[in-house]
Amino acid sequence: MLAIFKRETRSYFTSMIGYVVIGVILAFIGLYYTANCLVYATSDFSIVLYSTTLVMLFVLPALSMRSFADERRNKTDQLLLTSPVTIPQIVLGKYLAQLVVLAVPMAVACIMPLILTCFGTVSLTSAYATLFAYCLLAAACIAVGTFISVLTENQIIAYLATFGVLLVAYLMESLQTLFTSGNTLAFIVFCIVLAVASVLIGFVCKSITVGSGVFCGGAAVLIVLFQLRPAWLLTAFNSVLDALALFSPFETFVGGMFSVSDIVYYLSVIGLFLFLTGQALERRRWN
């Protein structure tokens, strides 16, 4: 794992991509820091971080896009997969190298609240807690990007797909308001999801019976629920959408609260997507 980690880190810093990512993140944080804290003289550092979350959508996919897509195109994954290292070690090595690149602008950002203390009282706890959550959010975005990168061998597709997924996650809060009215809508959406899932299951099992069986069973459950407990569907639907809103837990921290459940949420997202990356890598050997 150490070998992969070292190689990846070095490759980020011998090519332009590492510097570009670091530079862009720092430029935006610096811009908002200057505008908000130095010029406008607010003591709230978290507002700077909040304003720069949008930058993640553009920058972090550039970091994660090459992690696996490039290996597959150049067939260098053959070296990794035929060496005596496990798949979790490969995934972790690559992921940690991306975190090292991320750590550079974060380390610089650590200094910023300290500078503010020269001019007045600053809530350092709040500032650093937000910065911590900011790092976790970025780490979660990178995990998503790494997973998407393993699915394709084209870096540009990996970039665009990651950008799209993160954009949906970013906009999820406002999208959610479209869905909160009406249990029928929730029912319809669940039915569509069920239909898609059934078709997929049918394809995977190569059996129409299994696919239609799943669909009929699921539809029966949905109809019964819709008749008896229509509110449940809406609640369930909303909690699914909540879980997809990757950026909203971060706002709790910006609001000045330290939420353990949100930290657990980010760690779960990271864990889930790294696990899926490993599974996708493993699965490729079977096709």
Partner 1 sequence: MIEVSHLTKRYGSHVAVDDISFTVEKGCIYGLLGPNGAGKSTTMNVITGYLSPTSGTVTINGHDIQEEPQAAKACIGYLPELPPLYTDMAVREYLNFAAELKGMKKKADRAADVARVCEKAGLQGMEARLIRNLSKGYRQRVGVAAALLGNPEVIILDEATVGLDPAQMIEIRALIHDLGKSHTVILSSHILSEVQTVCDRVLIISGGKLAAQGTPEELAARLAAKGVISATAQGSREQVLKAAQSVAGLTDLRVTAEKSDEVSFTASSTDGADLRAALSAALAAAGCPVLSLSSQNLSLEDVFLQLTESDVSADSEQGKPESADEAETAMPLAENEESAGTDTPQDKEGE
CB of 78 to partner 1, least distance (A): 4
Handedness of CA 105, 106, 111, 112 (dihedral sign): positive
Is there binding between residue 84 and partner 1 (CB under 8 A)? yes
Tokens of 248: 């909203």
Using the minimum distance from each CB to partner 1, give the nearer residue, 107 or 285.
Answer: 285
Using the minimum distance from each CB to partner 1, give the nearer residue, 114 or 282.
Answer: 282
Is there binding between residue 207 and partner 1 (CB under 8 A)? no
Alpha-carbon span 13 to 60, nearest angstrom: 15
**Choices 22-30, 69-77, 122-130, 215-223 (CB under 8 A): range interacting with partner 1:** 69-77
237 CB contacts (<8 Å, ≥6 apart)? 179, 186, 189, 190
Alpha-carbon span 24 to 8, nearest angstrom: 20
Is there binding between residue 227 and partner 1 (CB under 8 A)? no
CB of 71 to partner 1, least distance (A): 9
Tokens of 254: 């910006």
Using the minimum distance from each CB to partner 1, give the nearer residue, 70 or 242.
Answer: 70
Q: Which residues of 172-190 are buried (b: 16+ CB within 10 A; e: fewer)?
A: beeebeeeeeebeebbeeb
Is there binding between residue 73 and partner 1 (CB under 8 A)? no
Among 41, 52, 63, 75, binds partner 1 (CB under 8 A): 75
Tokens of 41: 């003289």
Among 29, 56, 80, 241, binds partner 1 (CB under 8 A): 80
Q: Burial level of 13, CB count in 10 A (0-12/13-18/19+)?
A: middle
CB of 287 to partner 1, least distance (A): 7
Among 39, 40, 82, 260, binds partner 1 (CB under 8 A): 82
**Choices 2-10, 30-38, 169-177, 243-251 (CB under 8 A): range interacting with partner 1:** 2-10
Tokens of 75: 């067939």
CB of 153 to partner 1, least distance (A): 14
Among 24, 31, 38, 85, binds partner 1 (CB under 8 A): 85
Alpha-carbon span 78 to 68, nearest angstrom: 12
